[in-house]
Structure 1
Amino acid sequence: MKKNLFILGMMACSMTMLGQSKDDSTDKGYYLKLGGSYFLQTAATEFPVVSGSLPNTDVYAANGTTLLSRETNHGSFGEGFRTGITGGYRFNARIGVEVGVNYFKSSSKTMVETTNRLIAAGPVFVTGNAIGTISAFDVAPAVVLFLGEANGFEPYTKVGVIVPVHGDLEIETTRKYTTPVGVVDAFTVEKVLPNPTVGFMAVVGTTYKLGKKISVYGELEYRNFTVHGKSKETKSYTENGVDQLNSTTSFRDGSYAENHVNYVEKIDSNSNSKVTNSAGFDRSKSADDISSYVGISGLGLTLGLKYTL
């Protein structure tokens, strides 16, 4: 898909450059664009495991052990709102470059959901869900191919890359523990930091002149990239509104390993993992876990203003 879009962009570049007929010197110069976008998700994938819980929606019977239904949770964090400012330079009538700086906030996605599961003798039942949201700043350099102006409209296309410079996946987990002595409402906030990554974007758009230097513009943008976790930290954990982040008497053990995770490609007998090295697991250090991937693919519409300097 990426290769095909790149080839189409290069073909458009060749065609428009061959069709160039007016004086390029009148089109040179800098411009600024300010806009807002809304994206719909594309290329939905299965969500990663959340703190040991598979990305499923599970419903159990009253006994807490009989599974009545299971559904896999999947999607993309590409759905959401974006705002940004873009600086551009036009070399001539047909070609230019842009660099955008954007802030993106995804829509919330349910990653795990459980109803009435028996987790311990007593008995103790748990019902709850884990909801994820991505926020990120990115830099997006691109090559712009202008297709010619007619009646105030000037369509264009551009291809480029997306480089996230800061951001995280925030997971809010709500659990209701039903015990013989009462109900405990637990709430956890975890933040996953990503490894560096690069994405791809392809855009078709048009401007419409309102004045000599002011235009409005609209763009339809497809973007595709994935990120994988570098580390995770539990930022807060409460039970019935009381801080239990470091408590050893709550439903979590409160250790450093419980609150900090390093993501790696592989865990084995040398890893600080309860799964592969239970005998050597050190609760005073960050736990090791396998890195998961999430998608931020989307198709979006951007509207904004363009000012030619």
Structure 2
Amino acid sequence: MKRKHLILTAALALAAAGSAQAQNGKFYIKAAGGYFFSVSPGQFPDVGQYPPRDEVRVVNTATGATTVQSTKVLTGSYGEGVRGGLSFGYNINQYLAVEGTFNYFSSKKNLMTHIVTNAAGSGAHLGSVESHGYVHAVDFAPSLVISPGYSKLNPYVRFGFVVPLWGRLFIETDADRTSSVTGQPATVVAKTTIHRKEEIKPNATLGFQGALGATYPIAKRLDLFLEAEYRNVPVRGKTKEVTKYDELTQVINTANGAVITEQRRGLNDLSVAERNTDYVTTLDQNSNTPTGTTGTVTHYKNDNAPANELKSYINIGGLGANLGLRLRF
């Protein structure tokens, strides 16, 4: 008799579980948007020859001696920004599901270098360099989802990997410089302005992610969900390319504002080494490094081959919140 009761109880439990599973649906789609904050800031990589500093320099125009008046290391992370995702899931049973999510991420702009140079005594502006970097990326995140299977407010934990599919670190730099002109009076100066944009392609990498959230039904097959998510995705640079470059030099008579001569330099005027960079783990005597400059032109050991720079690392992970809808089938 007891055995029959046990069998009957087990059958009822299985029927109830099957009914709940049918109600919840095995397949589902989730759409979400969220914002992430940096939780592990570090020092930004160099922007070419410029270190990650917010710095004010003073130059003695008579001797050329330069003094650093103030300096600050620039730190941060590329993990702060907005994220949108589309997930495809399958309920293995009432308590366990697997998901695959495609995410698009756009980070906020980060100040990577800011160097201002003034003349000693007069405080006249002689030049500045300012660079901002930001990341756009697409990734795929396979996850395992565990929950108690409640019919109303249902908490869950989710954890898995992050596989970047595409991504770029963009660096935009604006620079200006004012200098004297040989053989001309002090009222005649050369003013140069430069705008450039670089794209850094990453090496393949693998990250990790985990989330704690809850779902709540708002319609027959539609749920609202909110979750807190943590991601750790370290990325190292592979190659860099200058994709925009605009340089203008004007010789100006400051007494009347007249432009005496004007010269432009564009993207096609850059050498291969100025335009392209391969990142390496070690620089040695065989590396294609700079040998000197002529004005704003940088010369390399081989101007017709990509330059070499040391690899740098960034992290596009962070801690954030996602809000979205889940449609069950």
Question: TM-score band (shorter)?
Answer: 0.7 to 0.9
CA gap of 1:182–1:282, structure 2 versus 1, over 3 A, is: closer
Give the aligned length: 277
Is 1:255–2:267 an aligned residue pair?
A: no
Aligned partners of 2:69, 2:18: CA distance in 1, in Å?
68
CA displacement at 1:148 relative to structure 2: 3.1
CA displacement at 1:235 relative to structure 2: 0.3
Match of 1:244 among 255, 266, 281: 266
Q: What code does the residue aligned with 2:216 have? A: Y
Match of 1:26 among 13, 20, 23: 20
What is the alpha-carbon root mean square deviation over aligned residues? Answer: 2.4
Q: What code does the residue aligned with 1:26 have? A: A
Q: Any conservation in 1 of the 2:104–2:138 contact (CA below 8 Å)?
A: yes
Partner of residue 7, structure 2: none
CA gap of 1:84–1:95, structure 2 versus 1, over 3 A, is: same
Partner of residue 268, structure 1: 284
CA displacement at 1:267 relative to structure 2: 1.6
Partner of residue 72, structure 2: 71
Task: Compute the TM-score of the two structures, normalised by the length of structure 1.
Answer: 0.84
Match of 2:57 among 35, 56, 60: 60
Ranges of 4+ aligned residues in structure 1 off by more than 3 Å: 240-243
Q: SS of 1:66's equivalent?
A: strand
Q: Any conservation in 1 of the 2:246–2:266 contact (CA below 8 Å)?
A: yes
CA gap of 1:74–1:144, structure 2 versus 1, over 3 A, is: same
Task: Compute the TM-score of the two structures, normalised by the length of structure 2.
Answer: 0.79
Q: Tell me the percent identity.
A: 34
CA gap of 1:117–1:99, structure 2 versus 1, over 3 A, is: farther
Aligned partners of 1:236, 1:186: CA distance in 2, in Å?
10
Aligned partners of 1:117, 1:92: CA distance in 2, in Å?
68
Q: Any conservation in 2 of the 1:42–1:299 contact (CA below 8 Å)?
A: yes
User: How far does the alpha carbon of each residue in 1:221-266 deviate from its partner, in whole angstroms, 9 at most, with x for none?
Assistant: 011121000000000111249552233xxxxxx2110110001111
Aligned partners of 2:267, 2:312: CA distance in 1, in Å?
24
Aligned partners of 1:147, 1:109: CA distance in 2, in Å?
41
Q: SS of 1:257's equivalent?
A: helix
Name stretches of at least 5 consecutive residues in structure 1 with no aligned partner. 1-19, 248-253
Q: What code does the residue aligned with 2:94 have? A: A
CA displacement at 1:62 relative to structure 2: 5.4
User: How far does the alpha carbon of each residue in 1:192-220 deviate from its partner, in whole angstroms, 9 at most, with x for none?
Assistant: 00000111111001111011101111110
User: How far does the alpha carbon of each residue in 1:140-161 deviate from its partner, in whole angstroms, 9 at most, with x for none?
Assistant: 00000012315x2111011011
Aligned partners of 2:279, 2:172: CA distance in 1, in Å?
19
Q: SS of 2:273's equivalent?
A: helix
Q: Which aligned pairs between 1:4-23 and structure 2 lie closer than 5 A?
A: 23=17
Q: Any conservation in 1 of the 2:193–2:248 contact (CA below 8 Å)?
A: yes
CA displacement at 1:40 relative to structure 2: 0.7
Q: Which aligned pairs between 1:1-309 and structure 2 lie closer than 5 A?
A: 23=17, 26-27=20-21, 29-61=26-58, 63=60, 65-116=66-117, 125-149=126-150, 152-180=152-180, 181-240=189-248, 244-247=266-269, 254-274=270-290, 281-309=301-329
CA displacement at 1:176 relative to structure 2: 1.4
Q: SS of 1:23's equivalent?
A: helix
User: How far does the alpha carbon of each residue in 1:288-307 deviate from its partner, in whole angstroms, 9 at most, with x for none?
Assistant: 11110011221111011110
Q: Any conservation in 2 of the 1:41–1:76 contact (CA below 8 Å)?
A: yes
Aligned partners of 1:271, 1:62: CA distance in 2, in Å?
32
